[in-house]
Amino acid sequence: TGITLAVMMASFDWAEDDYDKLATGIVAGHILECGAQSTGGNFTDWRKVPSFDVVGYPIAEISEDGGVVITKHEGLGGLVSVDTVREQLLYEMGEPKNYITPDVIADFSSIQLEAAGENRVRVFGIKGAVPTDLLKVSVAYEDGFKSEGTIIISGPDAREKAEKFAEIFWSRVGTDFEDHLTEYVGLNACHRHLAPLKESNEVLLRFAVRDHDRSKFERFRRKLPALILSGPPAVAVTGGAPQVRNVVSYWPALVPQDISTWEVTVFDGDDVLFHETGGWPKTGGMPVPAAIGESGGTVPFSTETKRVPLKAIALGRSGDKGDMSNIGVIARSELAYHFIGTVLTAERVKEIFRGLVKGKVERYPVSNLLAWNFLLHEALGGGGTLGLRIDAQGKTLAHALIAQEFDIPVDVLASVES
């Protein structure tokens, strides 16, 4: 996001205290930062994307007054719509009112969107506030080792055979690792209990371990290839012995701005073309208290209902920050937004993801985008490189949530269809 803002400040000579414009640059950067995710990639309504052949990356057309239009190259695949942009705005969102950067606190609850032609979306109304006097420091450090390995098991009775293989494997290898995991890919490895369990004709059996003692991994590596010759039938190897990888963990911290300086040097060979150094402007802004837990209002709904997946009235996008997953649930109509607010509480989401989410769940309204943002703490088994799950970053969680069935009022369904 900062890279996008820097170009705007340099091109338009925006002042360091013109916070609405600075917030506009941050929002534009957030839309651009994950490439094709805002032009049809990972889009809930993927069937609406005309073509995924050479998907065009997003382009932000910026004017000096802070106007923003999101588009893409003509003639390439993908789709730019209000919904593709809404999904990307919810991606990796924290508190909507407090998107904190060193230059500005951008208020994502102020963003307005409107269609501005084919594959064009206007972004406007963005507000910004004085940044804090802190900087975020991200520390990466070595934190042990991990390894994973797989075998493929075919039917008949693939599930039963996979469970027997897992029993055999761990009895031989032992479970004295700091963390170990078995996943049956093809039998709800991503969504676990959130999806109905159906028999599969083949299962990718996945084992993973993590520990600080590298010597433990030798027996894990040796025992896995041997497993295919000493268990139930119709099994095949998917590769050689598992590799042992270093775990690099992540630790974020905040430090006062005044302990750091910045320095920029531009070289042409050995010649210095530009050199400048400096500090940070005195700020000291504070985040705005969040409207956590706000309800969806008191809008009346029809008593006649139909039991369907939440996807019928909502889009979904999930992201990660460390060991926290965020899930944006984006309503397809204003009435659907209010209904979702009444039934999808933080407590309900915590219950739905029981066993996967160890920490608290927070809910934030994003009414300007007709969305609700959920923050799921301690949801990723340590997160990123530390976690052992096949979906270590929780990218599939939003679609597990919107696949859940609810009794939805018929007038809410009608508001979406219209």
Q: What span, in angstroms and rounded, lies between the C-alpha atoms of 60 and 39?
A: 12
Q: Residue 325 in 3-state DSSP?
A: strand
3-state secondary structure of 223: helix
Tokens 């109905």 sit at which residue?
Answer: 196
* Termini Cα distance of the chain: 36
Alpha helices in 185-332 (DSSP H): 217-227
**For the chain, what's the residue count?**
418
Provide the CB-side half-sphere exposure for 119 (13 A, CA).
Answer: 20
Q: Provide the pLDDT for residue 280.
A: 81
Q: How far apart are CA 101 and CA 9, in angstroms?
A: 15
In what helix (H) or strand (E) does residue 139 lie, and over which residues does it extend? strand 134-154
**Are 127 and 46 within 8 A, CB to CB?**
no
User: Are the beta carbons of 297 and 341 closer than 8 angstroms?
Assistant: yes
Rg (CA), the chain: 24
Residues (pLDDT < 70) of the chain are 290-297
pLDDT recorded at residue 73: 94
CB 27 within 8 A of CB 121: no
Residue 215 is given by DSSP the state G
- Give the span between the Cα atoms of 40 and 336, in whole angstroms: 23
Structure tokens at 332: 């397809």
* Best CA proximity match to 403, nearest among 314, 304, 298: 314
Report DSSP state, residue 282.
P
pLDDT at residue 281, as a whole number = 77
In 3D, which of 153, 160, 162 has the Cα closest to residue 237? 153
**How far apart are alpha carbons 96 and 107 in whole angstroms?**
6
Domain 140-249 fold: Alpha-Beta Plaits (3.30.70)
pLDDT value at residue 296: 62
In the numeric block, which tokens belong to residue 191?
Answer: 């969504």
| Cα–Cα nearest to 368, from 312, 330, 408 | 330
Q: What pLDDT, on a 0 to 100 scale, did the predictor assign at position 394?
A: 94
pTM here is: 0.93
pLDDT attached to residue 293: 63
Report the alpha-carbon distance of residue 160 to residue 294 in Å, rounded. 46
Instruction: Tell me the β-bridge partners of 407.
Output: 307
Q: Per DSSP, which regions of 79-133 are E strands?
A: 99-100, 105-107, 112-115, 121-124, 127-129
How far, CA to CA in Å, does 84 sit from each of 37, 114, 369? 8, 12, 12
Domain chopping of the chain, boundaries: 2-131, 140-249, 305-417
Q: What is the C-alpha to C-alpha distance for residues 17 and 8, in angstroms, rounded to an integer?
A: 14
Report which of 161, 156, 184, 149 is spatially closest to residue 231, judged by C-alpha positions: 161
Q: For residue 63, give every residue at least 6 positions away whose Cβ sits within 8 Å of its Cβ, in sequence order, or none.
A: none
pLDDT at 299: 85
**pLDDT value at residue 266:** 96
Give the pLDDT confidence score for residue 356 in this predicted structure.
93
Q: Which amino acid is at 105?
A: I
Contact 21, 11 (CB under 8 A): no
